[in-house]
Amino acid sequence: MSVKSYQRKLDLENGRVDLSHGSGGRAMAQLISGLFHQAFGNEWLARCNDQSAFDVAAGRMVMTTDGYVVSPLFFPGGNIGSLAVHGTINDVAMSGARPLYLSASFIIEEGLPFSDLKAIADSMGAAARSAGVYIIAGDTKVVERGKADGLFISTTGIGIVADGLDLSADKAMVGDRVLVSGSLGDHGVAVMSKRQNVAFQTEVVSDSAALHKLVAVMVAAGGSGIRVMRDPTRGGLAATLNEIAHQSELGFRLQEASIPVKPAVAATCELLGLDPIHVANEGKLVAIVAPDFADAVLAAMKAHPLGSDAADIGEAVADNRKFVQMATSFGGRRIVDWLWGEQLPRIC
């Protein structure tokens, strides 16, 4: 739909989204062309169709979908938009795939300032460009005040995976090494520091990042020696390893002293009664790697900027109870369980 030039421009400084921007009329078209196309700009969106056609490469495709409801929308190190792009890319990349295209659907609460929406869309565009992926389809809905917390974003991602690579969480084997790409808990702590009723000052910023380039160097170094990759988002490292333990029907034994955690994250968790291995990450991955390949993969990770703090933190062991256990830095042992309920600070 072409937009008539006599229409008043979007007031990106002081304007706010209202219900007309989701009505299917001219205001919506103006929002899409004036804000989203500007931010995401690519040849597919420029054609203004209800869908985008693209050539299918040879090989196996992977697809993922994800919803983003983070509160607050802006946090140290990113916002809901960059998070949506990184998170979707990472879900595609954990299969060893090269991510290609994304779609993004926006559910906007009326009253959201255009300036916020623009900042979010711009950072999505920037995140996609720097990752070399394109946002080629989208949708916009506006709901009444109180029906959404500012903005929700749903995304889908498509990528292509090289022949011979078949990573899956049921493929871990006894003796495999557990590698993490860097310090844990940064994202969760950064977001919590801005929550209304726990606000605190911290130097910690979200680790939100696209990991597919790190994955590519790992795959180059380890090939099919890499059995599983997963990004430990909600529920943290603990949830991810418990999932893999269940799917692969084995246990893990970790060394607490080897697990990288920044002092500021450790201190915040201490204060709030949380455990860093339960706190969310958005720019870290866990890889389960065959022992013969572990050193090479770890070296490749360390050589990449997103893996410079990578560490070997333990191994897969035979265990029909599928426990994730940890040797504590203190010299004892404990179980690393799933996070249960919401992660709530203890009260005394």
Partner 1 sequence: MKYADEFRDKAIAQGIARAIGAEVSSQRAYRFMEFCGGHTHAISRYGLEDLLPANVRMIHGPGCPVCVLPASRIDMAIRLVDRPEVTLCVYGDLMRAPGSQGQSLLRAKALGADIRMVYSTLDAIRLAEQAPSREVVFFAIGFETTTPPTAVMIRIAEKKRLKGLSVFCNHVLTPSAMHSILENPKIRDTGGVPIDGFIGPAHVSTIIGTQPYEPLAEQFGKPIVIAGFEPLDVMQAILMLVRQVNEDRYQVENQYSRAVTREGNRRAKDEVSQIFELREQFEWRGLGLVPNSGMKLKPAYAQFDAEARFAIHDLRVADNPACECCAILRGAKRPVECKLFGTVCTPETPIGSCMVSSEGACAAYWTYGRVRDEQLRRTS
Binding site for partner 1 (CB under 8 A): 197-198, 263, 266-267, 270, 273, 321, 323, 325, 327-335, 337, 340-342, 344-348
Q: What is the 3-state secondary structure (H, E, C) of 19-49?
A: HHHHCCCHHHHHHHHHHHHHHHCCHHHHCCC
The nearer residue to partner 1, 26 or 333, going by C-beta atoms, is 333
Burial 295-330 (b: 16+ CB within 10 A, else e): ebbbebbeebebbeebbbbbbbbebeeebbbbbeee
Give whole-number Cα distances, 239 to 171, 231, 242, 324, 335, in Å. Answer: 17, 10, 5, 10, 12
What is the smallest separation between the CB atom of 188 and partner 1, expressed in angstroms? 15
Task: Name which of 165 and 327 has its Cβ closer to partner 1.
Answer: 327
- Is 67 within 8 Å of 148 (Cβ atoms)? no
Closest distance to partner 1 from the beta carbon of 315 (Å): 16
CB of 262 to partner 1, least distance (A): 10
Nearer to partner 1 by C-beta: 164 or 331? 331
Cβ partners under 8 Å of residue 295, min gap 6: none
Q: Which is nearer to partner 1, 50 or 342 (CB)?
A: 342
CB of 144 to partner 1, least distance (A): 19
Name which of 257 and 299 has its Cβ closer to partner 1: 257
Cis peptide before 113 (omega within 30 of 0): no
3-state secondary structure of 67: strand
Whichever of 132 and 273 has its CB closer to partner 1, that residue is: 273
Question: How many residues are recorded in the chain?
Answer: 348
Pairing of strands 311-317, 177-180: antiparallel
Smallest separation, CB 75 to partner 1 (Å): 18
Least separation in angstroms between residue 344's CB and partner 1 is: 3
How big, in percent rounded to 5, are the helix, strand and coil portions of the chain? 35, 25, 45
